Amino acid sequence: MKFFKVNMIILFIVGICISCISAADTDWKKTGESNGIVGYSRPGPKSDINELKGVGIIDAPVAAVEALIRDTSADTEYMYKCKEASEVNIPGLKNTADTKYFYNVTAMTYPVSDRDVVGKANWSIDKTTGTVYLHAEGIKSDYKLDKNKVRLPSLVADYILVPKGPDKTEITYINIADPGGNLPSFLVNLFSKNLAIQTIEGMREMVKKDKYKNARAVVTTTPH
């Protein structure tokens, strides 16, 4: 009887955990769709600023999409409102094969100041499925501090690249950023509503370039 009770308690706890995970995966609200790319949003965990997600298919192998995202300088060509982007590799912020530091500037509409961020990006791979992951977060740094820009208090971004055949990749892009300053959250949410969709649309065009489409081998090796 005691053994039965213990098992029931364990099953109850597991059930709660599964329910929580399920809820976390299903609380996204669809916000738009463009050319098969679906956009979602949900309230952020720490503020009224929405977390954003886009899901779509890119007609290129995972290796090509990975090569594009690793090319930090290309962010200005496809990333939503990205004005400046560069890799950072200085003492204290040293890059390795699967860890990269970056600097990014987001253009804002006058008279609002541009936003910038220094971040750390970690790459990993599920070698069983071939799925590649990139998790990026803003970090505290005085690198390129500029009184004319507002440094983001926080940034979290994730890319998930799932192979869907030799020349197709399903991409999930998730982003949440606190722009800082005194911007009302409803304006931030309105400004960034299509961020994920437009970023993936831009990536679709970028992977057609020779330097990306000719990439056939995934270079990420860190286990996920």
Instruction: Give me the pLDDT at residue 47, please.
Output: 79
Structure tokens at 141: 């740094």
**This prediction's pTM:** 0.87
Of the candidate ranges 135-144, 148-157, 185-194, 214-223, the one whose mean pLDDT is the lowest: 185-194
Q: State residue 80's pLDDT score.
A: 92
Question: In percent, how much of the chain has pLDDT > 70?
Answer: 88
Cα distance between residue 195 and residue 185, in whole Å: 15
pLDDT in tens, 161-208: 999 988 999 999 999 999 998 888 988 988 888 999 999 999 999 999
Say if residues 152 and 115 touch (Cβ distance below 8 Å): yes
How much is the average pLDDT of 79-95?
96
Which conformational region is residue 216 in: left (phi greater than 0), alpha (psi within -120 to 50 degrees), or beta? alpha
pLDDT digits (tens, 9 = 90+) for 13-32: 444 444 443 345 569 999 99
In the predicted model, what is the mean pLDDT of residues 34-40?
A: 97
Residue of 213, 57, 179 lying closest to 109 (CA atoms) = 179
Domains in the chain (CATH in brackets) are 28-213 (3.30.530.20)
pLDDT at 8: 40
State the average pLDDT over residues 209-213: 95
Q: What is the mean pLDDT of residues 111-136?
A: 97
User: Using a CB cutoff of 8 Å and minimum separation of 24, what contacts does 97-106 make?
Assistant: 97/219, 97/221, 97/222, 98/122, 98/123, 98/124, 98/220, 98/221, 98/222, 99/123, 100/70, 100/72, 101/139, 102/72, 102/136, 103/143, 103/144, 104/75, 104/79, 105/149, 106/81, 106/82, 106/179
Provide the terminal-to-terminal Cα distance of the chain, rounded to the nearest Å: 41
Residue 130, burial from CB neighbour count under 10 angstroms (0-12, 13-18, 19+): middle
Q: Are 124 and 110 in contact (CB under 8 A)?
A: no
186-45-52-155 Cα dihedral, nearest 10 degrees:
90
> In the prediction, which pLDDT does 25 show?
58
Query: So what's the pLDDT on residue 218?
Result: 97
Chain mean pLDDT for the chain: 89
Q: What is the pLDDT of residue 182?
A: 85
